Structure 1
């Protein structure tokens, strides 16, 4: 049984078995010896140890896992052997440092997006984008300028967000990831020396008098401090935005999952009121769980992306999703949008045409006969009366399912004829005119006329196969000029919205007599001029009482006349 050794590598703690620890120590000592005559050898060693720690972190699956020789050999295979490299100045003169034994290490690795702070005008965003997409940074900068000159303000905001969200390439390992170069000993040492030489050149070419004056005046320090304050404020603002995005997106995702579980499981509960209603509305015949699944993906994936973005704003070292995961999510989201669009188009086309079916019948009465109008219900459907635009699922006495609706409106009009007639206009919607007309024709509505009494059903039914297609009935009763209509109290809600019957009766929902003429409708027993007295003894009350008394004989004499006419019939 091997002993376990705890080590600290680049600030991270790892558990190594005794053999792996010995080999790692010899490996690092060999590298250190090969760098002992190089400038900045300590900084190079720090970068190498940081890269080894990063590779160890990718190998372990849980915190207490012990790194063995197998994992260590894999790391060394990536980093390379010290004896494979000549660590001296010749590296930068004739050949690239990884020309020897680099069959597996000279392949370009996956690039990651960083800000190149070594080649920057403002924040290094353009240089970082240039490295990432393989384009010279000058073209990226020209594109920013063109977009801003075009009058679009969003590029400035996008640049600021990228400045805040995209990390800077600070370490040598970050710079190699930015350019897509393998992170091994040779590249780390070469990259460090390139940076060291650049710094040395800048130091040699510095105008010391100029910078001395800046230091004396404090101008440079002031602007540096101001820039740090601005960047800090942007970071705080980004954190607040991140918290807001995480909360909103997380609550949305939880709601979508709950909705999917609820709606998706309804199909397995058997027939219930909700499934029956959905079946009458839906024309695609697609299971409810599939609608819920497509909605979950179409809405949930963008909010999941927002959730990840919010986490990135809050956690600086959050590992990005793999390219495979991103592609899979994009493909699923696109397919969900396409599926919902297709189903939506199919659903919409089922209501794109209106169709009518008209029935007409003569009513054998003559003016000045009185037409008695009433509305009736049916006990098996609840016997409810009153106009309602909604449709319901009902069952007949033999347990046959039907669509039940009270979406009926009544019009009464005068026309130039000596007898009356009734016109029943049934309407529905469909995916073409003939389909809509057939649905309208399938509407079942009943009425009865006998001895000047017209009894209308306050409802209609249709077969469930016709589904909810805005079925409705408009009834128009044509009467000779001067005909009196006796309207029951249950008919008031069925009069059309543009009718003045309800207004004439002051919306009291009572039975009334109306005279229908070419000039319109006239209520014969509506006391619309009645005024309530303020006090029993006031002069106004006496005047109103006199007016009311004067109306009574007229009303009684008219009623007696109607009764007498009725007896004579």
Structure 2
């Protein structure tokens, strides 16, 4: 059992055990002794303590964790021993280096020491290893060609990128190791820089007059802009936190109630099972969708917290790259599933069955009746693109569809035929043809009556593959056709007729199959419009067609009867007799 001590290091509070505290105290005292006679020693020591506190904070998993000797040794290993990093004056001269140490990864900060407005360009210059002048020129060009649009991006970066204040942050900005040697060197450089400016104050005053004036002006403007944009930034941060948190909570609720545990059975799950061609369990897709959508929501919430909380602890690169990897894997797998699903409808196949029809009385009219079903009318049935999920008497799940059409055509001989064509989609032609063959459809011939189902069915295991049935009824020329009681889905009837009627209108009259495959109406009413002396008349009846149009001083008259065709206008008067002679 070890004694625990509470310490305040660089304004950060830590719990540390006694042995670790003693070792850390000896280490800091050694550093103070090594910099006792060095200019700027107080600032050097303060920066070293700030860096040590930062390293301790990164290693802590929670606020109640106790710092042990292990963490102290790791920090000392990073910072180095004072005797190993004694810096003399020659280190700043251009001496050849015997060994070049690898540079650390730079961190993005705003360089406020070399700023003109907000230090964004100078910070980007350090981060990418180029002169800040080039970055400023790029900003100017982008702003000009975007009609000022990049100004808002600059302001956003100004708000989000922190400024390099401490020596450790300035070293991180340049990609230099934050250890005792570099901290001392950086502080001494600052002091030497100040001393040099004092010596040349008169020359600098003249040489940098314009630059200092511009900085002063922009600093005043910057303070005003920053005040308003900080308020806007905090408001944006709150919105991002609300959106991110709400999205994650909604996804968690959906994941556990529907996707995994199926506590709440929603119709969407049945819909997924009907269209799913990969046979991937719904819980797997739910987890992948949770990661694909939830991780961006998490980073939205994290960004909002970073905007609101200035000293928010980083989640660490391990967590960031782990979440990024999970997101990429989820996106890739969902894309693969989507491609596989789309491929299930890539090919179309059909199975056609043709049979001859024998009627009891060929001289009498053929009567067509459509049989409907009410199994797809229940309100609790799930529907998708006209297909309904239902159950047989044995409790088996089946799919019922109304995707049916009836086409009346003329037979090429004196024999009546019926062709039932079943169609479906699949991931290959073979699969599509097999799926089409599993469609159930029936019809019945009784005397001179044909009973046709206006629906089809298939097993649920065949899933939704755009199944449909097309029935082609071929009748010899001269065959009379009648329909039973007006069918519920009368619009599914297709037939070329002399009245240009749709299926519902066709089912109300009697027809005869005429030459050319056109059905001629036998009992349709006459089409006649009232005679109007002012504008003319249009009369169509059994005597023929009589059209007489008047208007704007022009007259047009067309008469067609058993004698022939007569056309009369203001300029012409022609008659075409039935015997094809012209008068």
**Both structures adopt the same fold (TM-score exceeding 0.5):** yes
Residues 172 and 447 of structure 1: CA distance in aligned 2, closer, same or farther (over 3 Å):
same
Pairwise CA distance, 1:298: 2.7
Q: Which residue of 1 aligns with 2:173?
A: 178
Q: 1:15 & 1:327 partners in 2: Cα distance?
A: 30
Give the one of 466, 484, 491 matched to 1:487: 484
Q: Does 1:315 align with 2:309?
A: yes
Aligned length: 514
Q: Does 1:340 align with 2:348?
A: no
Q: Which residue of 1 aligns with 2:157?
A: 162
Q: Does 1:409 align with 2:409?
A: no
Pairwise CA distance, 1:311: 2.6
Pairwise CA distance, 1:471: 1.0
Q: Which residue of 2 aligns with 1:8?
A: 8
Q: Which residue of 2 aligns with 1:287?
A: 281
Do 1:112 and 1:177's aligned partners in 2 also have CA atoms closer than 8 Å?
yes
Q: Which residue of 2 aligns with 1:352?
A: 346
Q: 1:255 & 1:497 partners in 2: Cα distance?
A: 49
Q: 2:126 & 2:192 partners in 1: Cα distance?
A: 21
Pairwise CA distance, 1:393: 4.2
Do 1:504 and 1:523's aligned partners in 2 also have CA atoms closer than 8 Å?
no
Q: Which residue of 2 aligns with 1:41?
A: 41
Q: Which residue of 2 aligns with 1:260?
A: 255
Pairwise CA distance, 1:89: 4.5
SS of the counterpart of 2:466?
coil
SS of the counterpart of 2:386?
strand
Pairwise CA distance, 1:221: 5.1
Give the one of 423, 433, 436 matched to 2:429: 433
SS of the counterpart of 1:118?
helix
Q: Does 1:226 align with 2:221?
A: yes
SS of the counterpart of 2:351?
strand
Residues 396 and 431 of structure 1: CA distance in aligned 2, closer, same or farther (over 3 Å):
same
Moved more, 153-162 or 277-286: 153-162
Pairwise CA distance, 1:374: 2.1
Residues 2 and 458 of structure 1: CA distance in aligned 2, closer, same or farther (over 3 Å):
closer
Moved more, 289-298 or 28-37: 28-37
Residues 448 and 156 of structure 1: CA distance in aligned 2, closer, same or farther (over 3 Å):
same
Do 2:116 and 2:215's aligned partners in 1 also have CA atoms closer than 8 Å?
no
Do 2:4 and 2:17's aligned partners in 1 also have CA atoms closer than 8 Å?
yes
Residues 272 and 359 of structure 1: CA distance in aligned 2, closer, same or farther (over 3 Å):
farther
Q: 1:95 & 1:298 partners in 2: Cα distance?
A: 54
Do 1:349 and 1:431's aligned partners in 2 also have CA atoms closer than 8 Å?
yes
Pairwise CA distance, 1:120: 3.8
Do 2:493 and 2:504's aligned partners in 1 also have CA atoms closer than 8 Å?
no
Q: 1:488 & 1:448 partners in 2: Cα distance?
A: 17
Give the one of 188, 191, 196 matched to 2:186: 191
Q: Deviations over 1:217-267 (max 9, x none)?
A: 998755422122123333333333333333223322333333333454268
Pairwise CA distance, 1:146: 6.6
Residues 501 and 62 of structure 1: CA distance in aligned 2, closer, same or farther (over 3 Å):
closer
SS of the counterpart of 1:403?
strand
Pairwise CA distance, 1:522: 5.4
Q: Which residue of 1 aligns with 2:555?
A: none
SS of the counterpart of 1:255?
helix
| TM-score, structure 2 as length reference | 0.71
SS of the counterpart of 2:359?
strand
Q: 1:86 & 1:172 partners in 2: Cα distance?
A: 18
Give the one of 448, 454, 469 matched to 2:450: 454
Do 1:173 and 1:183's aligned partners in 2 also have CA atoms closer than 8 Å?
yes
Q: Which residue of 1 aligns with 2:246?
A: 251
Residues 224 and 496 of structure 1: CA distance in aligned 2, closer, same or farther (over 3 Å):
farther
Do 1:284 and 1:343's aligned partners in 2 also have CA atoms closer than 8 Å?
yes
Q: Which residue of 2 aligns with 1:303?
A: 297
Residues 123 and 446 of structure 1: CA distance in aligned 2, closer, same or farther (over 3 Å):
same
Residues 314 and 514 of structure 1: CA distance in aligned 2, closer, same or farther (over 3 Å):
farther
Q: 2:81 & 2:441 partners in 1: Cα distance?
A: 92
Q: 1:337 & 1:214 partners in 2: Cα distance?
A: 54
Give the one of 441, 444, 452 matched to 1:445: 441
Pairwise CA distance, 1:415: 7.1
SS of the counterpart of 1:283?
coil
Q: Which residue of 2 aligns with 1:554?
A: none
Residues 58 and 341 of structure 1: CA distance in aligned 2, closer, same or farther (over 3 Å):
closer
Pairwise CA distance, 1:71: 4.9
Q: Which residue of 2 aligns with 1:546?
A: none
Pairwise CA distance, 1:171: 0.8
Q: 2:321 & 2:208 partners in 1: Cα distance?
A: 54
Pairwise CA distance, 1:211: 11
Pairwise CA distance, 1:491: 4.0
Q: Which blocks of at least 5 consecutive residues in structure 2 are unaligned?
A: 529-583
| TM-score, structure 1 as length reference | 0.73
Q: 1:213 & 1:478 partners in 2: Cα distance?
A: 99
SS of the counterpart of 2:487?
helix
Do 1:7 and 1:16's aligned partners in 2 also have CA atoms closer than 8 Å?
yes
Moved more, 299-308 or 145-154: 145-154
Give the one of 456, 466, 475 matched to 1:470: 466
SS of the counterpart of 2:439?
coil
SS of the counterpart of 2:368?
strand
Pairwise CA distance, 1:34: 4.5
Q: Which residue of 2 aligns with 1:532?
A: none
Q: 1:357 & 1:74 partners in 2: Cα distance?
A: 75
Q: Does 1:370 align with 2:365?
A: yes
Q: 1:173 & 1:224 partners in 2: Cα distance?
A: 24
SS of the counterpart of 1:354?
strand
